[in-house]
Each structure stands twice: as C-alpha cells, then as structure tokens.
Amino acid sequence: MTGWLLLLLLVPSALGDAPRLQFDEDGWWGVALPLELLQDASVRKKLYSGLTTTFELEAQFKPDHERKYYAMMQIRYEIWDEVFMINRLDAGGRVGTYRFSSLEETAAWLQKDPLRIAPRAGPAAQNLICRVRLIPFSRGEGRVAEDWFAKVLRVPDAVTTGQTDSSRERVLDESQDGGGIFEVLMSKSIRRKTIRTVRWQWRLDGGG
C-alpha cells in the first residue's frame, strides 16, 4: 500500500458512516460489515428468522471505470444448533462456508478477514462507491444458494443437513466465475423489497 493515501469520506447513511476500507496483500480492497449493521433491529429480526438473509455488495470506481464488482455474504441461523451459517463470495472469486456462535463473533471475523469488493485501481485519484443491499431469501432460494456453495466446496450433505464440520474456502478459477451465482440468485432480487440499502464512499488518492 506504499504510496497510497486513503482518505475516508464521511457519507451520511441510515446506519452511520462508511466502515474502514482495508487493502490486502493480494491487491484487493476489502470491507467488513459493521456490527452496528448486523445488530440493527430490522436486520437482526431477519437474521434470527431461520431463513437466509443475503448481503449483496456492488462496488464501482468513479468517475473513470464503468465496470462493477460484486461480493455476497449470506447468513442463516440454525435454530436447533444455535449457530450462524455463513456463505460468502468475494469479488476476487474467493468462496467459503463458515459457522459462528454469535453476530459478535461474525463481525470480529470479518474485521480480520474482510470481504473483497474491488481490485486496486490505477494511479489516478478515484472514488470507490459501494452499495449494500440486504435481501431476504425464501427457503427455496436459500436451498439453491447452499446447493451451489456445497457443490463448489465439495461439502458432503451440506445441503440436506445445513452443517459443515469446519470452515471451508477456495478461490475460483476463470472457468468457475462466481458471477453465475449472482445471475441465478440475484436476478429476481431487483423486484423484491430489500430490508435495508446502505451506500458507502471512499476517496482513494493514488501516488503511483
């Protein structure tokens, strides 16, 4: 990150200002969903419903780039086991399944391993804008999502049991472009009422 100065622009939103943007060793900008967002009353109610709640992140550099990058995290609470099952797909193609005992534990994990939302831009100054949509899934849509993650990660019986023996992750190659899951799962979400929409913005000043 040498030569880069990250200036955080405070953008008003219903749930506070933009969280800290992080730059990792593989050249990706990442962000952690803040605990404040996960514990919002309307969000928390959905997260504990037993159905799948999807966080869709759409990132784009402005004003020079038209390409959009997508990341996704799905949370489903297993009522009988009292654990949160997490599926995530980063913009860089990293896919994984995880389980945590609480929202606090989930938020702490994300701080250490944030969602990758966009690659490093060019040397010119850029605005990085990220829109986060919280979308409730039906049981059928949740099963489709779990089926896809289980297939990619080769987790036996994950679809039928909803459980994994440990956290699993991998990085997709070009032939397994994660964009397909967005097309399948998110194509109908435009017409569905979202739980919450948040917009974050950061200023990136490139120094070469």
167 within a domain of the structure (yes/no): no
Is 98 within the bounds of a domain?
A: yes
Using pLDDT thresholds of 50, 70 and 90, give the confidence band for residue 135.
confident
Domain count, the chain: 1
For residue 109, being part of any structural domain is answered with yes
Would you say residue 16 has pLDDT above 70?
no
Task: At 117, list the tokens.
Answer: 């939302």
Whole-number pLDDT of residue 63: 73
- Please name the residue that has the structure tokens 């489709």: 144
| pTM value surpassing 0.75 | no
The closest of 207, 204, 202, 200 to 13, measured between CA atoms, is 200
Low-confidence winner among 14-28, 80-94, 102-116, 161-175 (lowest mean pLDDT)? 161-175
Q: What is the pLDDT of residues 159-204, one digit of tens each?
A: 334 444 445 555 555 444 444 555 555 555 545 667 889 999 998 8
Q: How does residue 42 score in pLDDT terms, banded at 50, 70 and 90?
A: confident
Residue type at position 52: T
Beta strand pairing status for 83-89 and 68-78? antiparallel
78 inside domain: yes
- Where in the sequence is the domain holding 62, given as residue range(s)? 4-162+172-206
Residues 6+ apart with CB under 8 A from 51: 76, 136, 137, 138, 139, 142
Provide mean pLDDT across the span 74-78: 91
Report if residue 61 sits inside a domain.
yes
Give, for 159, the enclosing helix (H) or strand (E). Answer: helix 158-161
Reading the block at residue 47, the tokens are 């997260």
Residue with tokens 């009353």: 41
Here the tokens at position 100 are 């945590």
